[in-house]
Amino acid sequence: MRYRLTFIAGLALGYVIGTRAGRERYEQMKKSARRFAENPAVRNTAESAAQSGRDLAGKAYHVVSDKVGEKVPAGVADRVRSLRDRGRNGEDDWGTSNT
């Protein structure tokens, strides 16, 4: 319950601050966020982190599948296989290359 109240208080505070700042400040923050996201160093770091996550997930999959074996329902196993195969084709969900 404490976390819910904290979340609601944060939403209320964000709303109040946002309405006082106005549209001009919103556009300025949006432009800054876009510039930050388009920064090559940020993009490379994000792609590296995504690749590391995929590698670790693959290792975890093998460890878990060795321990669990055939106890996993077929639907779950098929979904995991499709996600794993999608990660190997050289593109992630955002359409960027895994360089």
Tens of pLDDT, residue by residue over 13-29, are 888 887 877 778 778 88
Are 10 and 52 members of one domain? no
* Cα 87 to Cα 99: distance, rounded to the nearest angstrom: 13
Q: Which two tokens stand for residue 54?
A: 């995929």
The stretch 61-66 carries a mean pLDDT of 78
pLDDT for the residue numbered 12: 87
Query: Domain of 16?
Result: 1-38
The residue with tokens 């969900």 is 93
% of the chain beyond a pLDDT of 70: 84
- Count: domains in the chain: 2
pLDDT for the residue numbered 80: 76
Are 58 and 96 members of one domain? yes
Weakest mean pLDDT among 7-16, 33-42, 43-52:
7-16
The residue with tokens 């993009």 is 43
* Cα 15 to Cα 98: distance, rounded to the nearest angstrom: 37
Note the pTM of the prediction, 2 decimals: 0.46
Question: With contact defined as beta carbons under 8 Å apart, do 97 and 90 qualify?
Answer: yes
